[in-house]
Amino acid sequence: MHRDTLGRIGLAGLALPVALIVLAIAPAGAAAVDCEVGAVGGGPSGWSTDGPDGDFEEAALLVRGAVGALRTDAFDGYGMPTINGTPYANPSPLGCGRQDRKQEIVFPAVSVGGVLVKPKLYADPRGAFGRQLAILKNPTAAPVTIDFGWDGNLGSDGDTIVDRSSSGNATADAADRWATSCDDGDADGCANVAGEARRDPELAHNWEAKSGKSDSADAVVLASGDGNFDVSFTGVTIQPGQTVAYMEIVTLAQNVQLARSVAQRADSKPGKYGVFRGLSKKEQKQLRNW
């Protein structure tokens, strides 16, 4: 686990380290920024990005007035895009852009498996959630069929517990749309947090919509005792010149009850929750799993 990446967050306000405030203080007209930057989100929360991998490197949540108020170490890399098992690899560490009032990091488009992959990472300013948008374009004159996925690590390693899924059980698989998880060092259940004030934040993972989608995940890897979290969509066909998009969100919560609540809210009323906040109409139409 890497507990020094995010630095310290003071109780009087969010005092994030340089890695997380570059995005906020860079000039508005800057053409490009370091891809390893960050943003302050709702909650308040702090989010840092991984420049080479195009994913969230780590996140932290401030729980005001609580013992162990700084809940750090969410993730050891969350949501790295892959095509046919090959990960996105950013060749331009200083080539990222910013959108949505500096809350979104736009990574360069890179050819992976014959498809142009452009990750966009967004920290919502109102809620404590981050969004991964993967924009996939077929630049060729023929249809391409690929397997798309997100590869991630929750950072809780062997202490990971799957709390609940959209099916109502504690198993996350392709039949689900969301799941909640926690860092349970005492192995006594996510709801029992006595003596665990400094645990990682509880997490709500939403990887597809409840309805209105044209594609659903074919495989989900999220199991108790294992920190890996992977979502895969197989047999994705993209027509010549066509652009499609896939999206997932992850919310930081101060307890597992809140994690369940926000997962259900994002599932039942994604627009009201803010899932699409900042997305253009074009991007929303390109979405296949929402």
167-200 pLDDT, tens digit each: 999 999 999 999 999 999 999 999 999 888 789 9
> Are the C-beta atoms of 119 and 134 separated by less than 8 Å?
yes
Q: CB-based burial of residue 50 (10 Å sphere; 0-12 exposed, 13-18 middle, 19+ buried)?
A: buried
Q: CB-based burial of residue 12 (10 Å sphere; 0-12 exposed, 13-18 middle, 19+ buried)?
A: exposed
Whole-angstrom distance, CA of residue 211 vs CA of residue 253: 25
pLDDT in the model for residue 123: 97
pLDDT in the model for residue 56: 97
pLDDT in the model for residue 25: 35
pLDDT in the model for residue 52: 94
- Which residues in the chain land under pLDDT 70? 1-31, 65-68
pLDDT in the model for residue 195: 85
pLDDT in the model for residue 12: 35
Q: CB-based burial of residue 212 (10 Å sphere; 0-12 exposed, 13-18 middle, 19+ buried)?
A: exposed
pLDDT in the model for residue 65: 60
Whole-angstrom distance, CA of residue 115 vs CA of residue 140: 8
Whole-angstrom distance, CA of residue 81 vs CA of residue 63: 30
Eight-state DSSP code of residue 67: T
Domains of the chain, earliest start first:
18-286 (2.70.98)
pLDDT digits (tens, 9 = 90+) for 237-279: 999 999 999 999 999 999 999 999 999 999 999 999 999 999 9
